[in-house]
Amino acid sequence: MTKNELILPSKDELLETLEKRFKKFPQRHQNLQWEEILSLIEDKPESINSLAYLETSGGEPDVTEINKQLVYVDFSKESLKGRRSLCYDKDARVNRKKFPPTSSVCEVCDQWQVELLTENDYHALQEIQAVDLKTSSWLFTPDNIRQLGGAIFGDRRYDTTFIYHNGADSYYASRGFRAKLILK
């Protein structure tokens, strides 16, 4: 989704939604107070548009600690319909011989100033809440894999988190991506 395709909520509407979700799922952020999170958001005013994107595109973002970072991350049960059918990055999209998608995961993340989850982030997220039970999500791919034309993605099946590989130029209706916004 491009910036022109989304109708973003106002800052007040967004913060109200995030606060309600924060209070509804305390197990995701034990020992944190909403006032602390609000202060971190307000210290980074550029984060409002990023959070608005995560919310508006259906990510159900909530704050949690992943790999010693305090982050907002997508907790939606499945990968998001509005973030599917994208190849991994611009190079893969541009060099695709037939039927290139309209954009790529990395381009969308850059546009909205969010980061793609790493493999470690994805495993940590799955420990907090099981996601991608029917879909899959592209993950940040190390350079050594990407230079060979590949990219990685993950899902959860049989109560186990799996990490796979595919050509970076591939895209599927059931594969999207999850993003994070680092607060600290």
In 3-state terms, what secondary structure has residue 33? coil
72 in Cβ contact with 55 (< 8 Å):
no
pLDDT digits (tens, 9 = 90+) for 139-148: 999 999 999 9
- Residues 127-143 have pLDDT tens digits of 999 999 999 999 999 99
Which of 148, 151, 147, 142 lies closest to 169, judged by CA?
A: 151
> Could you tell me the pTM of the whole model?
0.93
Q: Cβ contacts of residue 22 below 8 Å, gap of 6+?
A: 29, 34, 37, 62, 63
Per-residue model confidence (pLDDT) at position 5: 65
Model confidence pLDDT, tens digit, residues 67-100: 999 999 999 999 988 899 999 999 999 999 899 8
Q: Report the relative pairing of strands 136-139 and 175-177 from DSSP bridges.
A: parallel
